[in-house]
């Protein structure tokens, strides 16, 4: 059934077996200035494509008959330059991910926001979203598989993580990466970027945790000259810097409620406004977020916006703590030993079985980062090319953390992750509480309270 197709408007074919969805999309797209055609099945949609010029197809994934997948495959072979957005019900994300591999430009989960749909259609039709070469016409070689050995990915949990990375990386889907500090969340983000069609674009990391709250807004959104006292010239924000590439919002759990609102608006509309500016700039970048906090618990207690949480966690990846994947320790250790021996201009140091056993028995509260540092020091302290138990300087663990660490599989509670964040900030600030408060973007009164609450002996540590 064809609807008003007035030229020179761009024409969008919508395919869905649900009449109410067709109506909603027709209303939205028409209000956005597009002409629409609609079809109740993939077969009908293909017939329309034979007869009418179309600029973009939006199709449901699951429909009786050949379905969205069949439609997509046909379009990919017969009209490789026609962009397709797949619509998918929540819970069928793997199908959608596969569809992007088959050649769809993008996918959206239902229910979706009309404004977001218009923004995506706009960026595809205006050419800011690249349409990749159609795999069914001429299969592209694609990035080589991740070298899992380099990652110490022997454990089942890391294997599953790699499988997920390989599926999700080539799409534009937003990913929330969860895991304790030092597990490798930033590394995972980098691999996702490197394996995406944005690999030649920038990879921009925003450390929301250590950027003082007052600075974060201008860091992220940029500003125009004169918008506040120190704004002596126009400045592009990091979101703008990530155009064409990937933006990693690291430590997303630490942002203020105002920033949560601003970020949500950006994620919905994909536009930003620099501080003090009136004009909106549209941004095409993929967004990844990482956190060691339990965002779901924060949503429950009201300190993190639920709508932002759902926007971020389209796909969630969990990087497991090292104590839960001890099988990975030997390969990671070997990798670090080789790298640090080389960096120190020494032949590769050998680690004794006793020393390796100590590494296997330790519970690694600082995860891979801690292992890396211990091996770096161990290589320097080793004698005669051999690393012995006494060359390994492991931290005696704080009681509550040690208990939590031993409880395999137990997620860190919010209090424990908060305590760690505070310890990290204090360490970074040489145990000066007011500096750590600035790092965390909290008041001095708040840090005094928390130091007391968690029984941190600042004077002893200093």
Q: Is 438 in the site for ligand ATP (CB under 6 A)?
A: no
Stretch that binds ligand ATP, among 55-63, 263-271, 367-375, 429-437 (CB under 6 A): 367-375
Cβ atoms < 10 Å from Cβ of 232:
8
Residues 182-201 that bind ligand ATP (CB under 6 A): 182-187
Determine contact, residues 248/186, Cβ cutoff 8 Å: yes
Residue 177 phi/psi, 5-degree rounding, is -105, 120
Nearest of 97, 94, 43 to residue 68 by alpha carbon: 43
3-state class (DSSP) for residue 204: strand
Residue 459 CA to residue 98 CA, distance in Å, equals 55
The distance of closest approach from Cβ of residue 188 to ligand ATP in the complex, given in angstroms and rounded to an integer, is 7
Measured between alpha carbons, how far is 62 from 195 in angstroms, rounded to an integer? 28
**Residue among 57, 61, 66 at smallest CA distance from 105:** 57
The span from the CA of 452 to the CA of 448, in Å, is 6
* Nearest of 354, 351, 346, 415 to residue 378 by alpha carbon: 351
Give the number of residues in contact with ligand ATP, rule: CB under 6 A.
Answer: 17
The answer to whether the peptide bond before residue 414 is cis (omega within 30 degrees of 0) is no
In whole angstroms, the minimum distance from the beta carbon of 396 to ligand ATP comes to 21
Q: Which residue is nearest to ligand ATP (CB)?
A: 184
- In terms of CB distance, is 74 or 148 closer to ligand ATP? 148
CB-CB contact of 271 with 281 (8 Å): yes
- 365 part of the interface to ligand ATP, by CB under 6 A: no
Smallest separation (angstroms) from ligand ATP to the CB of 424: 7
Q: Determine, following the binding rule CB under 6 A, whether residue 151 of this chain makes contact with ligand ATP.
A: yes
Residue 211 beta carbon to ligand ATP: minimum distance, rounded to whole angstroms: 13
Tell me: does residue 176 bind ligand ATP (CB under 6 A): no
**Least distance to ligand ATP, CB of residue 203, Å:** 13
Interaction between residue 320 and ligand ATP (CB under 6 A): no
Q: Which of 11, 59, 134, 181 binds ligand ATP (CB under 6 A)?
A: 181
Tell me how far, at minimum, the Cβ of 151 lies from ligand ATP, in Å. 4
C-beta of 245 vs 365, nearer to ligand ATP: 365
Both tokens of 293, joined, read 């906090």
Which residue ranges make up the site for ligand ATP (CB under 6 A)? 151-152, 179, 181-187, 250, 290, 292, 332, 368-369, 372
């Amino acid at each position: 059934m064809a609807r008003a197709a007035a030229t020179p408007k761009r024409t969008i074919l919508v395919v869905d077996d649900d009449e109410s969805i067709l109506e909603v999309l027709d209303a939205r797209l028409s209000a956005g200035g597009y002409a629409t055609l609609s079809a109740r099945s993939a077969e009908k949609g293909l017939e329309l494509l034979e007869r009418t010029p179309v600029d973009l197809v939006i199709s449901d994934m699951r429909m009786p008959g050949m379905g969205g997948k069949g439609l997509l495959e046909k379009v990919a072979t017969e009209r490789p330059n026609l962009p397709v957005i797949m619509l998918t019900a929540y819970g069928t994300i793997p199908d959608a991910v596969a569809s992007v591999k088959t050649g769809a430009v993008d996918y959206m989960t239902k229910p979706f926001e009309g404004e977001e749909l218009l923004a995506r259609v706009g960026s595809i039709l205006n050419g800011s979203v690249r349409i990749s070469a159609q795999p069914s016409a001429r299969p592209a070689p694609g990035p080589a598989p991740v070298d899992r050995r380099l990652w110490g990915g022997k454990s089942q949990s890391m294997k599953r993580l790699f499988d997920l990375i390989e599926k999700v990386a080539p799409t534009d889907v937003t990913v929330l990466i969860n895991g304790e500090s030092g597990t490798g969340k930033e590394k995972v983000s980098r691999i996702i970027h490197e394996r995406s069609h944005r690999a030649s674009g920038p990879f921009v990391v925003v450390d929301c945790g250590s950027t003082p709250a007052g600075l974060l807004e201008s860091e992220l959104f940029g500003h125009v000259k004169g918008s506040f006292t120190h704004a002596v010239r126009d400045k592009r924000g990091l979101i703008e810097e990530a155009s064409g590439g990937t933006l990693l919002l690291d430590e997303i759990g630490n942002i203020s409620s105002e920033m949560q609102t601003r970020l949500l608006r950006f994620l919905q509309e994909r536009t930003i406004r620099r501080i003090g500016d009136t004009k909106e700039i549209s941004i095409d970048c993929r967004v990844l977020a990482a956190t060691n906090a339990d965002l779901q618990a924060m949503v429950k207690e009201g300190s993190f916006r639920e709508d932002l949480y759902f926007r971020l966690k389209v796909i969630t990846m969990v990087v497991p703590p090292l104590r839960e994947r001890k099988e990975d320790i030997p390969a990671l250790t070997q990798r670090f030993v080789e790298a640090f021996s080389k960096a120190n201009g020494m032949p590769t140091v050998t680690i004794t079985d006793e020393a390796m056993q100590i590494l296997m028995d330790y519970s690694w509260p600082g995860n891979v980062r801690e292992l890396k540092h211990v091996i770096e020091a161990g290589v320097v302290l080793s004698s005669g090319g051999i690393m012995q138990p006494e060359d390994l300087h492991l931290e005696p663990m704080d009681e509550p953390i040690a208990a939590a660490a031993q409880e395999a599989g137990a997620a860190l509670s919010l209090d424990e992750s908060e305590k760690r964040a505070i310890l990290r900030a204090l360490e970074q600030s040489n145990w000066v509480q007011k500096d750590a408060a600035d790092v965390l973007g909290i008041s001095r009164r708040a840090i005094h309270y928390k130091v007391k609450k968690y029984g941190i002996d600042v004077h002893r540590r200093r």
